[in-house]
Amino acid sequence: MFFPKELLDNIVYYKVITILTGAGISAESGISTFRDKGGLWDKYRPEDLACQSAFDADPLLVWSWYQYRRDTIARARPNPGHLALVKWEALARDFTLITQNVDGLHRAAGCRRIVELHGNIRINRCQVCGQESNMEETPFDGQVPICSCGGMFRPGVVWFGAMLPENALRVAFQAAEHCDLFITVGTSAVVYPAAALPEVALSRGIPVIEINPEMTPFSKSATHYIQGPAGTVLPELVAVYEKAHGLSSPTDPNS
């Protein structure tokens, strides 16, 4: 794997790391963007189901679609890219993982400080009182799950046309404002407000690295573009980081 010399020379100085992930890292675990042809649901566009008006019109239809998505996600496992980020979190002094993915794979891998900008598909949220429960506690079993307050549960994701959660956005921007290395992984970072996060880091003169199999509109703005899948690039990059920080001996008596 080729890493830019400037990155290798400076990696020892990077202690506050912020990562922004998108659909690309989940795709390596077999999770599609649900725009594939030939599927059970291909006559629907995701934006026509993942919205409040669709839920208001036909909550059972929207729930059935999310159950199909949950079934797909339940079979997916974190890949070496997810696992490398767990290791990086343990190595770095400060580490924030911001994700646009709703599949919960970063959580399943073991990452602790996660900002889920678009929510989490494994969570149910009451649309009346806001109470949250996990999908095992209040499963969709062909009937819309109902909260103890009597309100309908809906999947705990951010729908098209809705605002991103205020608290998650605040933490994400704080992380972009305080990190000394910012990395985008598997995202084209063109949709706002998430697209503003690497811009914040760049405006501070902080290096922004993009890791993607293909170049994106953002690649030219990034300080370094590293071509390749997350599952290949991240384990190698974390190994370089670990070595530079002298952290490679787990039996170090001084640690």
Region from 22-30, 128-136, 176-184, 200-208 binding Zn ion, contact rule CB under 5 A? 128-136
Region from 123-131, 184-192, 203-211, 220-228 binding Zn ion, contact rule CB under 5 A? 123-131
Q: Please report whether residue 25 would count as binding Zn ion according to CB under 5 A.
A: no
Q: Site for Zn ion (CB under 5 A): which residue of 49, 117, 147, 211? A: 147
Neighbours of 40 (CB within 10 A): 9
Question: Minimum distance from CB of 125 to Zn ion (Å)?
Answer: 9
Q: Site for Zn ion (CB under 5 A): which residue of 129, 146, 190, 215? A: 129
CB 223 within 8 A of CB 230: no
Q: Please report whether residue 162 would count as binding Zn ion according to CB under 5 A.
A: no
CB 230 within 8 A of CB 25: yes
**Interaction with Zn ion in 65-104: which residues (CB under 5 A)?**
none
The one catalytic residue in 118, 178, 224, 245 is 118
Q: Please report whether residue 131 would count as binding Zn ion according to CB under 5 A.
A: yes
Peptide bond into 193 cis (omega under 30): yes
* Contacts for 154 with CB less than 8 Å, ≥ 6 apart: 55, 59, 62, 124, 125, 126, 127
Question: Minimum distance from CB of 148 to Zn ion (Å)?
Answer: 6
Total of residues contacting Zn ion (CB under 5 A): 7
The beta-carbon contacts of 64-67 under 8 Å, at least 24 apart in sequence, are 64/140, 65/41, 66/121, 66/140, 66/155, 67/140
Q: Please report whether residue 128 would count as binding Zn ion according to CB under 5 A.
A: yes
Region from 5-13, 19-27, 89-97, 118-126 binding Zn ion, contact rule CB under 5 A? 118-126
Q: From CA 111, how far away is CA 91, in angstroms rounded? A: 12
Q: Does residue 118 have an active-site annotation?
A: yes
Select from 121, 97, 118, 141 the least CA-distant residue to 31: 121
Q: Please report whether residue 149 would count as binding Zn ion according to CB under 5 A.
A: yes
Q: How far is CA 55 from CA 51, 111, 160, 205, 247, in A?
A: 7, 31, 12, 44, 50
Q: What would you report as the CA-atom Rg of the chain, rounded to the nearest whole angstrom? A: 19
Region from 62-70, 74-82, 151-159, 165-173 binding Zn ion, contact rule CB under 5 A? 151-159
Q: Which residues are tagged catalytic?
A: 118
> Where does this chain bind Zn ion (CB under 5 A)?
126, 128-129, 131, 147, 149, 151
